[in-house]
Structure 1
Amino acid sequence: MTTALNLEAVNRSFGERQVLKDVSFAVESGRLTGFVGANGAGKTTTMRIILGVLAAESGSVHWRGAPLTRADRQRFGYMPEERGLYPKMTVGEQIVYLGRLHGMSAADAKRRTTTLLERLELAERAGETVEKLSLGNQQRAQIAAALVHDPELLVLDEPFSGLDPIAVEKVLAVLRERARSGAAVLFSSHQLELVERLCDNLVIIADGTIRAAGSRTALREQYTLPRYRIEVDGDAGWLRDEPGVTLTELDGAHAVFDLAPRADDQAVLRSALARGPVRAFGPVRPSLAEIFREVIR
């Protein structure tokens, strides 16, 4: 994949408090990148620097290999955590208006607005003012506003907050479609299970410092312990006597165990097969929540 957005050693302070410390990571075209961290970790500040709302004190932000410009940002879509739609304006008029601000013709903005509101199941609400919508529907309208001009980069701050499971799936489908078209997507979320299911790449930030970044697969491999799960016929208690094996969980035929650095997982498997059928055997992969806890402590 091609790197679309690249941050190198970005720093930012507010008064005497440094909130970003040499922040560096990349966002690739055609991929969904999850940006996770606790409240106050620096996610929103980083996003605002990308969008030009804030300036970095040092470091650089590049778009497709060149310094980021105002013209580049015209091709970005942004959804802030603090929702910014006009409450007295109708949904349809507002999305069209924002499309026009990004240089779309009136006809293209109306066509794109109609398509998006249908995809997000807001078409019946197009004539209502934003203030009359439920919080979940306001969220969908905000996502439509970020997408209306077919942006090359989407920056979304907590886009799934307040959405029910059905609405989440609708939004996910739209984001995946945008990524498949070649756009780069960066979004923050506190819902780690959702990020794990959706994202291709992950960036984890804590105390203004990037603690881990890379593909979901690479991070899982990097933080996988020498831990295995096995299910056999009969009792798996014999594992206690296997060289290099430390049992961490035993429930009859099911067991989870750690291996010493030089121990051979295949030797354990052969020992199990010598005792009878093996129904399941393989490494235990950490969840995003487990990786997150590991890298921020």
Structure 2
Amino acid sequence: MTLIVAHLTKSFQNFLAVDNLNFIAEQGEIFGLIGQNGAGKTTTFRMILNLLAPSSGTINWSGQSIHALERDQIGYLPEERGLYPKMKVEDQLLFFGRLRGRSNHELKHDIDHWLERFELTDKRRSLTETLSKGNQQKVQLIASLIHKPRLLILDEPFSGLDPVNAGLLKEAIISLKQKGTVIIFSSHRMDHVEELCDHICLLKKGKSLFSGAIIDLKKQYGKINLTVRGPYSEKELRSLPGVVEITRKKDLFRLRLSSEEEARPIFQALAKDGFIERFSLDYLSLEELFKRKVAGADE
């Protein structure tokens, strides 16, 4: 199962919301569609869901138009939530599951499973409006996957979740991936994207700035994050050739280098004065890359 988006474009009168977008999301991988607010993520999701018609381009599922995939095989967690506040949790999940063609008998076991997994068993007879924002988010997530979709789209799934519940969600996403669900999700939390995604597409004003494996994006800049611990002053480190920026956190100095090649002469310069307690070279984080590529820090 593979989702292929090719030359996808969507215009609203004189506004170009999505501009010649291309990406592939494959079975067994998690794909991240990321960008600032207004970058075109939700518009793209709505075209995949056939809620909006593309101006041009194609969306194919395993060699056929996405429209050939039954709607009941797609799950969608929108950024704007849509639960019924006066309905009990279990009744709500039964309702959404039956809308997707599953029977009460089929749903009962799965509802029990997901309520237990998300630590909501004691809330099954509670009205949705009485739940915390985080628990409402978990109920909404269960509603998006209770029908066992083959394609699952999650728009800001971590919104409102504390670290413990975010961990439960991550485990669930990985479990669905392992079972073969094609998962696309969008999040402003770059640490979650970096932890979960195999491939990403970076959007800016509807246009793709990068599409591919995260490691390939990192290699474009090289290993220019250098962490150092030792008997050095900030002034001394700042004077080293190739050091563009320096920050200090307790006893650690973090140096941003102009290029990966600058690391060796810096090591040699520091080593000749004695023992180096720590010298660690790494790629930029996805959050740093996001700021450079999407938020315009490179411009």
- Which range, TM-score by smaller chain? 0.7 to 0.9
Aligned equivalent of 1:256: 255
* Counterparts of 1:42 and 1:248, CA distance in 2: 33
- Answer whether contact 1:235 1:253 (CA < 8 A) is retained: no
Return 202-211 or 102-111, whichever deviates more.
102-111
Q: 1:218 to 1:15 in 2, by over 3 A?
A: same
TM-score scaled by length of structure 1: 0.86
Aligned equivalent of 1:198: 196
Q: Give 2:246's aligned amino acid.
A: E
* Counterparts of 2:93 and 2:63, CA distance in 1: 31
* Counterparts of 2:254 and 2:113, CA distance in 1: 51
Aligned equivalent of 1:4: 2
- Answer whether contact 2:198 2:214 (CA < 8 A) is retained: yes
Question: For 1:24, which of 9, 22, 25 is the aligned residue?
Answer: 22
Per-residue CA deviations over 1:157-176 (Å, capped at 9, x if unaligned) read: 11111222222122122111
Shift, 1:192, TM fit: 2.4
Structure 1 residue runs without a partner (length 5+): none
Per-residue CA deviations over 1:99-125 (Å, capped at 9, x if unaligned) read: 233233332211111111111112222
Per-residue CA deviations over 1:222-275 (Å, capped at 9, x if unaligned) read: 233645444445669777787x544633879956263568x5644543454444
Say whether 1:124 aligns with 2:115: no
Aligned equivalent of 1:54: 52
RMSD after superposition: 2.8
Q: 1:226 to 1:182 in 2, by over 3 A?
A: same
Question: For 1:172, which of 161, 170, 177 is the aligned residue?
Answer: 170
Q: 1:257 to 1:178 in 2, by over 3 A?
A: closer
Q: Give 1:194's aligned amino acid.
A: H
- Answer whether contact 2:224 2:283 (CA < 8 A) is retained: no
- Answer whether contact 1:236 1:253 (CA < 8 A) is retained: no
- Answer whether contact 2:223 2:259 (CA < 8 A) is retained: no
* Counterparts of 1:72 and 1:208, CA distance in 2: 27
Q: 1:196 to 1:227 in 2, by over 3 A?
A: closer
* SS of residue paired to 2:157: coil
Per-residue CA deviations over 1:143-200 (Å, capped at 9, x if unaligned) read: 0001112222210111111222222122122111111212121111222233233333
Q: 1:98 to 1:38 in 2, by over 3 A?
A: same
Question: For 2:185, which of 176, 179, 187 is the aligned residue?
Answer: 187
* Counterparts of 2:130 and 2:231, CA distance in 1: 60
Q: Give 1:181's aligned amino acid.
A: K
* Counterparts of 2:275 and 2:189, CA distance in 1: 39
* SS of residue paired to 1:283: strand
Return 111-120 or 31-40, whichever deviates more.
31-40
Q: Give 1:178's aligned amino acid.
A: L
- Answer whether contact 1:95 1:148 (CA < 8 A) is retained: yes
Amino-acid identity (%): 33
- Number of residue pairs matched by the alignment: 293
Per-residue CA deviations over 1:45-104 (Å, capped at 9, x if unaligned) read: 111111111111110111123221243442111111122223333221221232233233
